[in-house]
Amino acid sequence: METLEPILAKLPFFEGLDEKYIKLLVGCASNVRFEAGEYLFREGEEAKQFFIIRHGRVAVDINSPTQGSIVLYTHEENDVVGWSWLFPPFHWYFGARALELTRAIALDGVCLRRKCEEDPVLGYEFMKRFAHKVVFSLAETRMQLLDMYAGQIAAPSGSRTSGASR
């Protein structure tokens, strides 16, 4: 039976990661499958893992009381989904739903946090890699919000606009 080691080693997210760390990751990894419409995780739930998509597409969304589910961005093959497992209080800030049949590798966050605590070099590598994911999430969310609310935000009454003078 083939392990996930060669698959993990080829993923762009783990590029340049020492081979000994790839071997450690295998102990925290498993193959998972989600049907179209099935949630990988929901906003507010406990964040216990993250996913690397092998096949399919996943929409990251937030729930609005007035508009329902709002898709912020979409992940595709080789993308990493989920970073909340790494940061207290370990609850999902967003939801993630399969848009089609999706196969992924799930990595157990509790297992990985323990390994990162035991090996600060590994912990630093994960922080660097996931910091990039957090910045991407914020940038994509910002763009989605700008698209949604473009033209709806008016300058406050009595405020000065550029080029105007009193």
Digit-coded pLDDT (tens) for 138-162: 787 777 777 777 666 554 555 444 4
Amino acid in the structure at residue 1 = M
Share of the chain above pLDDT 70, in %: 88
Look up residue 99 and give its DSSP letter.
Answer: S
pLDDT for the residue 1: 54
Res 154: pLDDT: 52
| Cα separation, 112 vs 95, whole angstroms | 21
- Give the H/E segment covering residue 144: helix 120-149
- According to the model, what pLDDT value does residue 151 have? 61
| Inter-axis angle of helices 109-118 and 120-149, nearest 10 | 130
Dihedral over Cα of 138, 54, 92, 129: its sign: negative
Domain ranges of the chain: 31-148
Write down the mean pLDDT value for the chain.
87
pLDDT-based confidence at residue 3 (cuts at 50, 70, 90): confident
At 50, is the secondary structure helix, strand, or coil? strand
Tell me the pLDDT tens digit for each residue of 94-126: 999 999 999 999 999 999 999 999 999 999 998
Query: What 3-state DSSP class applies to 41?
Result: strand
| Residue range 31-148 in CATH 2.170.150.20 | no
Indicate the helix (H) or strand (E) that contains 9. Answer: helix 5-10
